[in-house]
Amino acid sequence: MNEVKISQSVAVLIDGNNIERSIHTQSGDQATMLNIDSLLPKLLVNRSLNRLIYFREGKNISTKLSERLHANYHGSVRPCHKSADIPLSIKATQLASKVDTIIIMSGDSDYIELVTHLKSEGVRVEIAAVKENTHHLLIDEADYFHPITKDDWFSLTPPKRNSKSTRKKSTRKKKA
């Protein structure tokens, strides 16, 4: 039997605020971050990355994130005046004729109409999001849903030390 290889060009568009809020809600930790380095290979599954754009609302955008996305994926961070919905939708529409698949990382129901439109243009549309924070109609409308789980994020908060065990260790006498 001959193995069929499919070559697909993929654009990944991330609604940073939506994904960050979803992860913070699930983890209970505001210092929890998306681990793009481990998640991206799962999303692409041997397909080629054409674009990676992280849309982020606000003025305080991490330069480390921007530098890492550029260095590792030739990606970019796009600041948004308010929400990422409109800029992400415009970019997705612009990319529709240039890629085979668009992966939207967001659970926001505002993207349902965008998904419908992109599919009518012949683009495969996948959603990657935290399932518990994703609108069921968005999952239903997409060609495929990638659940983002705790395996796909990490915490910047160091684990709490047990102060009693630290004191006991420092007061122990060494045996000769």
Which helix (H) or strand (E) segment holds residue 146: the answer is: strand 144-147
Q: How many domains does the chain have?
A: 1
The verdict on residue 176 lying in a domain is: no
Is the model more confident about 5 or about 169?
Answer: 5
* Residue 132 covered by a domain: yes
Is 1 a domain residue?
no
Q: Give per-residue burial for 88-126: e unless 16+ CB within 10 Å, then b.
A: bbebbeebbeebbbbbbbbbbebbbebbeebbeeebbbb
Start-to-end CA span in the chain (Å): 71
169 falls in which pLDDT band (50, 70, 90)?
very low
Domain-embedded: residue 23: yes
How is 65-122 classified by DSSP, letter by letter?
HHHHHHHHHS-EEEEESS-SHHHHHHHHHHHTTT-SEEEEE---GGGHHHHHHHHHTT
Range of the domain at 83: 9-155
Cβ neighbors of 11 (< 8 A, separation 6 or more) are: 50, 51, 52, 53, 92, 95, 98, 99, 101, 102, 103
Whether residue 165 lies inside any domain: the answer is no
127 SS3 class: strand
In a domain, 120, yes or no: yes
Using pLDDT thresholds of 50, 70 and 90, give the confidence band for residue 163: low
In a domain, 72, yes or no: yes
What tens digit of pLDDT does each residue of 66-100 get? 899 999 999 999 988 888 999 999 999 999 999 99
User: Which CATH number goes with the domain that contains 147?
Assistant: 3.40.50.1010
What share of the chain in percent tops pLDDT 90? Answer: 66
Structure tokens at 144: 């495929």
Strand-pairing partners, residue 11, are 51, 102
> Does 47 fall in a domain?
yes
Tokens at 168, concatenated: 């006991």
**Tokens 């955008």 identify what position?**
61
pLDDT, position 8? 92
Of the pLDDT bands very low, low, confident and very high (cuts 50, 70, 90), residue 49 is very high
